[in-house]
């Protein structure tokens, strides 16, 4: 529980830092006036301490982080054997709440990134000529802090659940050991139980997500006539074999490796480490892709015969949701694998204890 408390406190520190560090921000224009206004989105939804522009979703997430951190330090009292085990029940509820809050905060971040704030502005320069344009906010350093906070909340919830599971196992062993005349019922590791099946099948959810991302784009610049930029899980659309770079092939290889080896993961003692590393790594890759959006420079010929060049930027699309689902499927499969390995060790320990008796 101490690790969960430390992680929740670290998450609160990150959210306090994001009151000044912007999550989304438009580039700062250093040209001569008139300059376009700047869009800044912090942990509360608007500029730092500007509560007039605060958003309900971000404020609720911030309040949830504050409540989660405060509640974690109220769950250190352990109940007596002759009283109702409310601290254990409350700790279990807190762990589930931390998991739900982490997932919710991550979905709020994905929503903000996929719907970037825009602002149309106009002004008059020193010569009296009209100046206008569109300002689009981009993910900033605060988006990385937000993602790190979500991972801390999820890890805190998992630590709380694993601690509660181990505590209940220890209590059960103590009660069983007190009964000297009890007969141990030795059972093998049930390969057909629900946790085992989840560990085997969830990696295939990630494979299905990657297959769907062949048609559902990760990034799409929209329709710009002859010029457009669409990124899928196999590179640019339409498909070109030259786009099969290591950055495209490696996620496919990792996801397929997790799915293929999941069928016999009991033969690999450290198999749960593979999907956990893959899921977290792919989430980091997703954050890097969102922070540095794909862009391409194109040239067009004007009717007068001249040429102009411009950059086409691909904005986040629906495929990022599939990418996130695939990553969390791998992480959940890893947690199920760890639980299966833990249960197998407990059964082996019970078997050895029963043999000695």
Q: Per-domain residue ranges for the chain?
A: 1-176, 193-357
For the whole model, what pTM was predicted?
A: 0.54
Separation between Cα atoms, residue 256 and residue 251, nearest integer Å: 8
Per the CB < 8 A criterion, the answer to whether 302 and 308 are in contact is yes
In sequence order, what are the residues at sequence separation of 6 or more whose Cβ sits closer than 8 angstroms to the Cβ of residue 50?
Answer: none
Per the CB < 8 A criterion, the answer to whether 42 and 142 are in contact is yes
Residue 73, phi then psi, degrees to nearest 5: -90, 0
Separation between Cα atoms, residue 31 and residue 242, nearest integer Å: 39
Pick among 1.20.1070, 1.20.140, 1.10.150, 3.80.10: CATH of 1-176: 1.20.140
Per the CB < 8 A criterion, the answer to whether 234 and 244 are in contact is yes
Conformational region of residue 235, where left means phi above 0, alpha means psi within -120 to 50, and beta covers everything else: left
Separation between Cα atoms, residue 88 and residue 78, nearest integer Å: 7
Rg of the chain over all Cα atoms, to the nearest angstrom: 26
* Alpha carbon distance, N-terminus to C-terminus of the chain: 34
Residue 295, phi then psi, degrees to nearest 5: -145, 155
Instruction: Supply the pLDDT for residue 210.
Output: 93
Instruction: Supply the pLDDT for residue 83.
Output: 42
Tell me whether the omega of the peptide bond preceding residue 5 falls within 30 degrees of 0, making it cis. Answer: no
Tell me whether the omega of the peptide bond preceding residue 34 falls within 30 degrees of 0, making it cis. Answer: yes
Q: What angle do CA 99, 324, 38 make, to 5 degrees?
A: 95
What are the pLDDT tens digits along the chain (357 aa)? 678 888 888 999 999 999 888 898 888 766 667 777 888 888 887 776 666 777 888 888 889 999 888 888 776 544 444 444 445 667 778 888 888 888 889 888 888 888 888 887 777 777 777 777 778 888 888 888 999 999 999 888 888 877 777 776 766 666 666 554 444 443 444 444 677 788 888 899 999 999 999 988 888 887 655 677 888 888 888 777 877 888 888 999 999 988 888 876 665 567 888 888 899 889 888 888 888 888 887 776 666 666 666 778 888 888 888 999 999 999 888 888 887 777 766 666 665 555 555
In sequence order, what are the residues at sequence separation of 6 or more whose Cβ sits closer than 8 angstroms to the Cβ of residue 188?
Answer: 347
> Which H/E stretch holds residue 336?
helix 319-356
Per DSSP, the three-state class of 169 is helix
> Which H/E stretch holds residue 349?
helix 319-356
Give me the count of residues in the chain. 357
């Amino acid at each position: 529980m101490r690790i969960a408390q430390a992680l929740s406190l670290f998450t609160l520190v990150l959210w306090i830092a994001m009151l000044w560090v912007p999550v989304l921000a438009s580039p700062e224009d250093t040209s001569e006036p008139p300059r376009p206004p700047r869009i800044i989105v912090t942990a509360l939804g608007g500029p730092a301490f500007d509560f007039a522009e605060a958003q309900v979703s971000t404020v609720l997430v911030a309040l949830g982080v504050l409540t989660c951190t405060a509640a974690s330090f109220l769950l250190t009292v352990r109940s007596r054997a002759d009283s109702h085990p409310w601290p254990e029940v409350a700790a279990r509820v807190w762990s589930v709440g931390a998991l739900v809050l982490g997932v919710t905060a991550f979905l709020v971040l994905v929503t903000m990134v996929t719907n970037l704030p825009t602002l149309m502005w106009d002004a008059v320069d020193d010569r009296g000529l009209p100046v206008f344009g569109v300002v689009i906010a981009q993910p900033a350093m605060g988006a990385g802090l937000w993602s790190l906070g979500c991972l801390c909340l999820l890890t805190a919830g998992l630590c709380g659940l694993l601690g509660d599971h181990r505590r209940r196992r220890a209590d059960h062993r103590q009660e069983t050991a007190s009964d000297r005349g009890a007969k141990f019922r030795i059972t093998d590791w049930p390969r057909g139980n629900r946790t085992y099946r989840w560990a085997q099948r969830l990696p295939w959810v990630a494979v299905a997500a990657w297959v769907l991302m062949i048609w559902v784009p990760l990034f799409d610049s929209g329709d710009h006539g002859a010029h457009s930029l669409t990124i899928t899980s196999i590179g640019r659309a339409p498909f070109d074999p030259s786009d099969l770079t290591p950055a495209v092939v490696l996620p496919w290889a990792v996801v397929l490796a997790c799915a293929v080896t999941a069928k016999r993961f009991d033969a690999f003692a450290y198999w749960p480490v593979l999907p956990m590393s893959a899921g977290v790594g792919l989430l980091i890759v997703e954050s890097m892709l969102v922070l540095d959006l794909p862009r391409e420079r194109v040239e067009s010929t004007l009717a007068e015969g001249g040429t102009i060049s411009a950059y086409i930027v691909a904005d986040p699309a629906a495929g990022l949701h599939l990418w996130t689902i695939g990553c969390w499927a791998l992480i959940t499969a890893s947690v199920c694998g760890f639980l299966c390995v833990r249960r197998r060790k407990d059964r082996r320990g019970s078997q050895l204890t029963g043999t000695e008796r």
